Structure 1
Amino acid sequence: MSILVVTGTGTGVGKTVTVAAIAALARDRGQRVAVLKPAQTGVSPEEPGDLEEVRRLAGDVTVRELRRYPDPLSPEAAARRSGIPPVLPGEIAQAASALDENHDLVLVEGAGGLLVRFDPQGSTLADVAWSLGALVLIVAEAGLGTLNATALTAEVATRRGLNVGGVLIGAWHADPDLAAVSNLEDLPVAAGAPLLGALPAGIGDTDAGKFLEHARAGLSPWFGGEFDPECFVGSASAQT
């Protein structure tokens, strides 16, 4: 798949770092990579947003942001408050398709979860993924409560005719608790898709070279990484 839609089970789960990690590995393999952020919220025009963070970590990738809203709200609510027009699914799909014409990989990063509204009509990232026929990746937390959120996201995606390619843990802490370790085996069941990676917490604070090393260790060979879920689960279980 040349277009991947990356969604989260909520906000602050590590979507941007995950997108940057996938982009960094693809770029390291010589691929032309583009990252599309349909709606950036909670950032003023002069502030760096998620795409600046992706470029800092992943290097020279093409980035495109369609709308920016200053309020830290859903794109639909932020658009309503700001008076800036909402971003529409057709516009997003068109932008992704245009990037796909001259890139090997296009990553579309959502805002929050799969059903966060873009416009008053209730359009969501799920509509975008469906119109593109793109594979969906779910970025989840590791700890208590993540199984329900992951299962809900996956079930909605499946009911809407989307294909979930896998689930990734956006921030794996060095001292995981029992729930986090147990969830390593249960997350793929909740998602109905394989565990494709677990990225260490805090890697967004490293430089590009170190970040690439973490990305390679924390992502599946499907992305060009070396992550082995069975070995990872075994190693984590040995800590508890």
Structure 2
Amino acid sequence: MSVLFISGIDTDIGKTYATGMIAKALMQQGVNVITQKLVQTGVSINPSNGEMNIADDIITHRRLMDIPLQPCDINSTTCPYRYEKPASPHLSAKLANEVLDPNVVTSATKSLQSDYDVVLLEGAGGLLVPITEQLLTLDYIAEQGYPVILVTSGRLGSINHTLLSLEAIKSRDLEIHSVIYNHIHDNAAQTDEQIAASTIEFLQNYLAEHYPTAHWLALPVQEDDGCSNVDFILPQNFI
């Protein structure tokens, strides 16, 4: 299990924060780990050379891991495809007059596997986001056979979106490695405390009954500066 795919029930659910925190926790266990981004949209262009900057999510990962950008970040191995338009990858690529080749991503992942014990590959948006006109994110995960870590939260609608995502993963005979409840929305206006508490209870019970081998983890609240000083401890049998 050298590659784990991190997805979410929706966009803005905290996949990037979860990915960085998992990597940090694995590092604390002595695991040689690196993160990768499947594709990043909404990336700015460096005015000095006209080239795309390093993916924002990769930068966030390194900040959370408390390590500098790595050579594999500088040479774009950790995110080969970066687009300026903040949209679905298939549209962002089309507007950039490019075609995203999933084989390039796979080759980058394999290159990282040669140097690291674990690669955490973060997706873009949810499971059914199209990365090309013909290929959904879930199609790509299924082709590679990656175990999936699913990030959820307690905002209204999360139970439905979580169960739909679990069903989609199961339909492709993929392993549901973990479900991570991100407290990111706990203090948001759209989150009701009773709904959040009920969501946690329901999903924990559902997971125990239908996916007993999957991990249930709670992610601490992100600090305002985009980092977290709270320890996120993974079970020893996480990998």
TM-score by length of 1: 0.81
Residues 5-154 of structure 1 aligned to structure 2 (within 5 Å): 5-46=5-46, 49-60=56-67, 63=73, 64-86=78-100, 88-121=101-134, 123-154=135-166
Q: How many residues align?
A: 217
The corresponding residue for 1:186 is 202
Question: How far has the Cα of 1:31 moved from its partner?
Answer: 1.8
SS at match of 1:102: coil
The corresponding residue for 1:198 is 218
Question: How far has the Cα of 1:83 moved from its partner?
Answer: 1.6
CA contact (8 A) 1:93 1:128 kept: no
The corresponding residue for 2:50 is none
1:171 and 2:183 are equivalent in the alignment: yes
After the TM superposition, which segments of 4 or more aligned residues of structure 1 sit over 6 Å from their partners? none
Question: How far has the Cα of 1:92 moved from its partner?
Answer: 2.0
CA contact (8 A) 1:17 1:54 kept: yes
Q: Which runs of 5+ in 2 are unaligned?
A: 47-52
RMSD: 2.4
TM-score by length of 2: 0.81
CA contact (8 A) 2:151 2:179 kept: yes
SS at match of 1:57: helix
CA deviation digits over 1:133-172, x for unaligned, max 9? 2210100121220011111111111111211112112235
Identity of aligned residues (%): 30
Q: Which runs of 5+ in 1 are unaligned?
A: 225-240
CA contact (8 A) 2:204 2:216 kept: no
Q: Distance in 2 between matches of 1:184 and 1:33?
A: 29
Q: Distance in 2 between matches of 1:79 and 1:43?
A: 12
Q: Distance in 2 between matches of 1:145 and 1:37?
A: 26
AA in 1 matched with 2:194: L
AA in 2 matched with 1:95: A
